[in-house]
Structure 1
């Protein structure tokens, strides 16, 4: 208060020996009020400093607690990862065991490990487990000499694979995981209803005996390759399968008595390729198949056997038989509906003994392009009907 009085009066007291400041009584009230305000501010500042220090101590304690929590989580995480790695090694050893029962246990163990990694959010390690299971199916396998136990292991693995491919909404699905069965041998099993949204390779695979079923499977925005695959006896069925937005490749595949069936399948915005595919016995069935879009391309080396499009519906897209060679066997379009698909057979090479059958189409709105013209012409004896174009819905004795 004295200091304020000194300042208000213009005095230099208490410096330089100055006298006590002379202040009028009327100003003491203002001086007192200012001094009290200043003391209050100093008090508030001190309180703020104390509150700040208290907050910093609280935050420091919270940081210590968080660090302690993170340490415990990481310790648990490291322990869990080590456990899964150990289980992976154990499952891999089981898959290589000489006894089929142990190998079967290894299959289930590896699946469990893959789910363990997925639960921890590590999809990379999950894929490693799936790759190992696919590699098991790629191991050398002879259906004629294999034990019943080994066949059981392989069929069980295929059954598990199918379950993992049924729904893309299942958190544990394998639909989007690339699968590699290159060089594998299949003599049975089913992937019916499977949904393929990624790359799946059956390159150079061998299908024998009962083959493999892809009935009602969906191929969406992925690539499925059967390049150089061999179909020996038996049937590989794609009945009622749907192809949309991806690529299915049978390039350089070979049919030796085997049948690949697309009965009732649907092709839409998809590419289906049979380039340089050879047929020597057996054949390819497209009966009741719907071509609604996309492109189906054939460059067949047809020696014996058949290719059938009976009761098929051509309502969109393209079907091209570019430079296919028919040296025997038959290709049939009986009761088919030509409504909008461009079916081009103009470059087909026909050798003696090959039969082309277009009997009794259900519709003829967009007729196929054939190498013998599109008007009433005298046809070869191995082209049916002998009068061109065929009459829609007509009955022909040769149908029997």
Structure 2
């Protein structure tokens, strides 16, 4: 909600409500209803810079009765003529016998009379069918007109209720609009748009949350903002309307709950295949879990999430969900969700040591892209299963409290697809991969480009810098696929493979630069197959403890002549 302190109290301002921001003036609800209905009508085409509109011919228009009958008779005669001609051709074009006037007998006249009566009866049947069809058509047109009138009146009434200053009436408006969406298939998306627009209204959370906003425009770092101390906490102002914030929170929660109920497989009337636009909304402790987003398009772009945001148990199926420019002042959870043939993009910022959780989730196909330029928390894929598709984390910057910052894929299974951690700076925290199983697919840390030679200028372009992060690959099992560090600078970080079990696949350090820190393959490593490679990597100051690699062929990194690195490799 937007709050004012009465700066224009002396001006001549008409009474307004929260609904004004949606374009529906309180004293003209019917005009807004007509606008939304016209907007949802695909037969209306807007002409730029002109006040007139062109409309197609009315599909309900009925042609004159005589023309209708003549058209059907002509069609019947044409079909009969074509049929007789085809039969004549099939019977080898027999000659037609001529009958003189004197040679007509009573039997021939009787047969001709029967044919004439049959033709007359057929014409009468055609006329009767045309009349019955027109009557049915007119009844359908009248029925549709009455239905449209009823739907329009219900839409107008629900809009008026949503614009009321009383929370109880607004709640009734939410249910009225949802009921209309169930009954009115042609206008369902319009009703959903109105409910989403209500959620998009400016709103201040009632909880004791630290406020954040992007003051420098899109892409800038979120900054804390001071709360509005000039407005009493019990009453918020929008124009001349007053709202109790706790009551308004109940209305907003009801909108979300109604939408969730229609996105469940067991829903009597589902809203699958619809679009939900929450762009710029403010949410507090959002609960959007245990639903199925089937063929849906959902936008949480530029939203601010306070408290814990729950998307657990969601079935993402052939849908598109976007969090571009979002701020997560808390955590967001996708635990035990299923991603299939969908595209989910989380392009935002975590603040206040928030977490993004994918614990126990399953990735079958599609894309999940996470770009959080500043992570003051953690991203967890604990016990997740990757069977296909691509999961990518781009340009991450781990910073903040080392004790609460990190990434984890502990006890996860990679059976297919690609998991990529591409670009960024890892300055603190821990990367846990304990108990990871890799049988197919790839886990890539660093560049996602095909590895190539050093550029002509002799300078390596590094996409990822590990300057203070601990990578724990303890008890990892590799049966196939690969774990790849590509174009990575290891400067003060530790990469450890304690109790590694490797029967196939690859561990690749391609084009890396080991400045400081430690790379450990201790003696408790068990390698029965596969390859470990440090191709085209440079060892400048790091400690490489490769005791566990004495039984396998290893392509070692090049050592700088001026480096003070320490190597331990059993021959």
Which of structures 1 and 2 has the bigger CA Rg? 1
Q: Given the alignment of the two structures, is residue 228 of structure 1 paired with residue 332 of structure 2, yes or no?
A: no
TM-score (norm. length: structure 1): 0.78
Contact 1:287 1:308 in 2 (8 A): yes
Contact 2:466 2:491 in 1 (8 A): no
For 1:346 and 1:160, locate their aligned partners in 2 and report how far apart those are by CA, in whole Å: 43
Out of 112, 115, 131, the position equivalent to 1:48 is 115
For 1:73 and 1:356, locate their aligned partners in 2 and report how far apart those are by CA, in whole Å: 70
Out of 164, 167, 170, the position equivalent to 1:103 is 170
Contact 2:382 2:408 in 1 (8 A): yes
For 1:139 and 1:315, locate their aligned partners in 2 and report how far apart those are by CA, in whole Å: 44
Contact 1:155 1:188 in 2 (8 A): no
Contact 2:468 2:493 in 1 (8 A): no
For 1:371 and 1:51, locate their aligned partners in 2 and report how far apart those are by CA, in whole Å: 87
CA RMSD of aligned residues (A): 2.8
Give, in angstroms, the shift of residue 41 of structure 1. Answer: 1.8
Contact 1:323 1:349 in 2 (8 A): yes
Q: Deviations over 1:48-101 (max 9, x none)?
A: 323432442343234323322322222122011111011111111211222211
Q: Which residue of 2 aligns with 1:290?
A: 385
Contact 1:364 1:392 in 2 (8 A): no
After TM superposition, the structure 1 stretch with the greater mean CA deviation from structure 2, 183-192 or 343-352, is: 343-352
Q: Which residue of 2 aligns with 1:13?
A: none
Q: Given the alignment of the two structures, is residue 129 of structure 1 paired with residue 207 of structure 2, yes or no?
A: no
Contact 1:162 1:190 in 2 (8 A): no
What are the within-5 Å matches in structure 2 for residues 1-400 of structure 1? Answer: 38-118=105-185, 122=186, 125-144=187-206, 147-167=245-265, 172-196=269-293, 197-211=295-309, 213-233=310-330, 235-251=331-347, 253-257=348-352, 258-275=354-371, 277-299=372-394, 300-304=396-400, 305-347=405-447, 349-350=464-465, 352-363=467-478, 366=481, 368-370=483-485, 382-384=494-496, 388-389=520-521, 391=524
Give, in angstroms, the shift of residue 383 of structure 1. Answer: 4.0
Give, in angstroms, the shift of residue 40 of structure 1. Answer: 2.8
Contact 1:280 1:302 in 2 (8 A): yes
Q: Deviations over 1:269-325 (max 9, x none)?
A: 2211123x1334222111111122211112212223222112111222112222221
For 2:203 and 2:157, locate their aligned partners in 1 and report how far apart those are by CA, in whole Å: 23
Secondary structure of the corresponding residue to residue 49 of structure 1 = helix
For 2:350 and 2:326, locate their aligned partners in 1 and report how far apart those are by CA, in whole Å: 9
Q: Which residue of 2 aligns with 1:19?
A: none
For 2:174 and 2:491, locate their aligned partners in 1 and report how far apart those are by CA, in whole Å: 60
Change (3 A) 1:387 1:110: same
Secondary structure of the corresponding residue to residue 40 of structure 1 = helix
Give the aligned length: 346
Secondary structure of the corresponding residue to residue 484 of structure 2 = coil
For 2:302 and 2:464, locate their aligned partners in 1 and report how far apart those are by CA, in whole Å: 27
Contact 2:320 2:342 in 1 (8 A): yes
For 1:324 and 1:363, locate their aligned partners in 2 and report how far apart those are by CA, in whole Å: 26
Give, in angstroms, the shift of residue 126 of structure 1. Answer: 1.2
For 1:392 and 1:104, locate their aligned partners in 2 and report how far apart those are by CA, in whole Å: 63
Q: Which has the higher helix share?
A: 1
Give, in angstroms, the shift of residue 359 of structure 1. Answer: 2.7
For 1:351 and 1:387, locate their aligned partners in 2 and report how far apart those are by CA, in whole Å: 12
Secondary structure of the corresponding residue to residue 476 of structure 2 = coil
Q: Deviations over 1:1-51 (max 9, x none)?
A: xxxxxxxxxxxxxxxxxxxxxxxxxxxxxxxxx968523322332343234
Secondary structure of the corresponding residue to residue 279 of structure 1 = coil
Give, in angstroms, the shift of residue 108 of structure 1. Answer: 0.7
Give, in angstroms, the shift of residue 110 of structure 1. Answer: 0.7
For 1:223 and 1:316, locate their aligned partners in 2 and report how far apart those are by CA, in whole Å: 22
Any stretches of 5+ residues in structure 1 without a counterpart?
A: 1-33, 394-400
Contact 1:202 1:227 in 2 (8 A): yes
For 1:40 and 1:150, locate their aligned partners in 2 and report how far apart those are by CA, in whole Å: 91
For 1:224 and 1:314, locate their aligned partners in 2 and report how far apart those are by CA, in whole Å: 24
